[in-house]
Amino acid sequence: MLSNSTEPVLSEASAAAKERLFVQTIRVGAYLACLFLVILQFLLQRTFYDWSLLKSFYLVCAAGLAMHVIPLWALDQFFAKKIVLGLSFAADVILVSLLLYTTELNESIFLFMYLVNILLSGLVFGSHGSVAMAALTSIAFTLATMFGPEVKSMSFLFLVLLNNFSFFAVAWLSGYLAAQLSFFSQRLQAQNLSLTAIRRLNEMIIETIPSGLLTINSQGQVLQCNPGASAVFAIDDLVKENIFQLLPGLEATVVAKSFAQKQDFQYHRNSDSSLLEVQVLPQLAEAFTDETFLVIVEDLTQIKRFEFAVRQSEKMAAVGQLAAGIAHEIRNPLAGISGSIELLSQTSVDEDDKKLTKIILKEINRLNNLISEFLEFAKPEKPPVDPVDLRPLVRECLDAALAQSKKSVELQIDLQNGEPIRGHRDKLKQAFLNIFINAIQAMESVPAAQLLVRSEIKDNRVWISIKDNGCGMKEETRRRMFEAFHTTKPKGTGLGLAITHKILESHGGQIFVSSELGLGTEFVISFPRI
């Protein structure tokens, strides 16, 4: 499935939320650490304590914890208000200074809270925020220590200066780290966006590619597939289907692991048969524990049909040019021969001679008819302009063909409502009548003749299928069936299907033929819709 376009935005928001939670947790943890240190010192040193000082300490810690725990319930809104957030950091400085001032504990115990506060302000506000917080901390710390009870000596002043220097050093380090984190975060975000875009592009390619892509395990079970695979096999949900049952013979390829060659398989679905080119490749998929394979499936049915149509068109063009030239060259000598034979028959008195002259004239007439068909075949067709409804035309041709045959034929007709095309009705009638007559003649020796005629609208074209269960054809016969003078009938001229092909081609039609010897033949014809 395609990735959600909001994924990078959600990822960025999630990272920001984690960063805010981390900052606030550290602030709460700092006060808890102070409480822990005081309690630990009380347990280790059971000496007299001034409970008034400890009371002030606990009040300061409670105020700090309350100030940082309460915003956890509305952390996003709290961090969104920069002024309030900045004031909370300033409040931390004041509270820590109060701790130093009101307690008699060694001041180094609480100095780490200054440093933590400066570091966190740098992460939140950047280098400017950390420097401002360091300046505020320096002022507060100096005031707290100057008014404290400690003896003011040179070593004390040196310690104050050293701590102030450490505040600004930590501020610089915090700002630098914040800048580096921001830089790497932006680069990481850009790379994530780039990877997301590449992944989405790859998924879009896989989703829209017409070839079938399937991931299968060693038992042939389909684990993943793209829409192209579902279209090739005409199965909506291929997952958990067994590819070895759909394509018998593929299991041997997987078992033998012969991945170098592509193989052709005949896939039968409903009443149709498709030619598929299949290649199996090993796949390294961490998501699956079992050994998996990538199966690439190409539907070559249409390609083979178009190749056949192109070859037939080239043959018809060559034959048409030859027919036009030969017909004119033969017709003139035939006219002279016919005239001479008729004169001889008038002067001849021998019965045998008259009989021979009649045979000659008969054959001359047959040749003339053949030449006329040749000329009709070679003559350029006029562009079709009239709208023709194929549904009544096909029914009319089917009735006419059945009327000429004494064979009982079981009909299965599924013709959709009128989808007109542009054409010449008489020419189309001639073409369909010729196909129906050939189909019925092919079923003469079949005990139970069946003829299936159906139509559908697909890809803005009208498709008509004519399928019989007759004797079928050899592959050589199928390849040459539209060639002029090629016939398997004892008295056929071999021009019927050639003319049919020419008529259909002149109407922008395409004709595809599939046949198996002893199983029958199927004509699939398509026309562009108006």
Cα gap 323→146, rounded to integer Å: 120
In order of 95, 133, 144, 161, 168, the CA distances from 121 in angstroms are 16, 7, 21, 22, 13
Domain-located, residue 205:
no
Kindly report the pTM of this predicted structure: 0.43
The model's confidence at residue 212, banded by pLDDT at 50, 70 and 90, is confident
Domain-located, residue 519:
yes
Domain-located, residue 71:
yes
Shared domain for 34 and 165, answered yes or no, is: yes
Q: What string of H, E and C letters represents the secondary structure of 168-233?
A: HHHHHHHHHHHHHHHHHHHHHHHHHHHHHHHHHHHHHHHHHCCCEEEEEECCCEEEEECHHHHHHH
Shared domain for 143 and 120, answered yes or no, is: yes
Cα gap 482→485, rounded to integer Å: 9
The model's pLDDT over 91-132, given as tens digits with 9 standing for 90+, comes to 888 888 887 777 654 455 677 788 888 888 887 887 788 888
For residue 190, the one-letter residue type is A
Q: What region does 485 belong to: left with phi over 0, alpha with psi -120 to 50, or beta?
A: left
The model's confidence at residue 466, banded by pLDDT at 50, 70 and 90, is very high
Q: What string of H, E and C letters represents the secondary structure of 43-109?
A: HHCCCCCCHHHHHHHHHHHHHHHHHHHHHHHHHHHHHHCHHHHHHHHHHHHHHHHHHHHHCCCCCHH
Domain-located, residue 204:
no
pLDDT in the model for residue 4: 42
pLDDT in the model for residue 9: 45
Please give the order of strands across the beta sheet that includes 292-299: 222-225, 212-217, 292-299, 272-283, 263-269
Domain-located, residue 413:
yes
Of 195, 218, 239, at which residue does a domain stop? 195
The domain tally of the chain equals 4
CATH number at residue 237: 3.30.450.20
The model's pLDDT over 219-267, given as tens digits with 9 standing for 90+, comes to 888 888 888 888 888 788 888 788 888 888 777 777 776 666 676 666 6
The model's pLDDT over 64-76, given as tens digits with 9 standing for 90+, comes to 888 888 888 888 8
Shared domain for 496 and 441, answered yes or no, is: yes
Whole domain around residue 355: which residue ranges? Answer: 305-378
CATH number at residue 448: 3.30.565.10
Neighbours of 380 (CB within 10 A): 9
Q: Is it the case that residue 455 has pLDDT exceeding 60?
A: yes
Shared domain for 185 and 276, answered yes or no, is: no
Of 299, 317, 336, at which residue does a domain stop? 299
The model's pLDDT over 357-383, given as tens digits with 9 standing for 90+, comes to 787 877 777 777 777 766 666 666 667
Shared domain for 41 and 91, answered yes or no, is: yes
Shared domain for 445 and 502, answered yes or no, is: yes
Higher pLDDT, 308 or 152: 308
Domain-located, residue 52:
yes
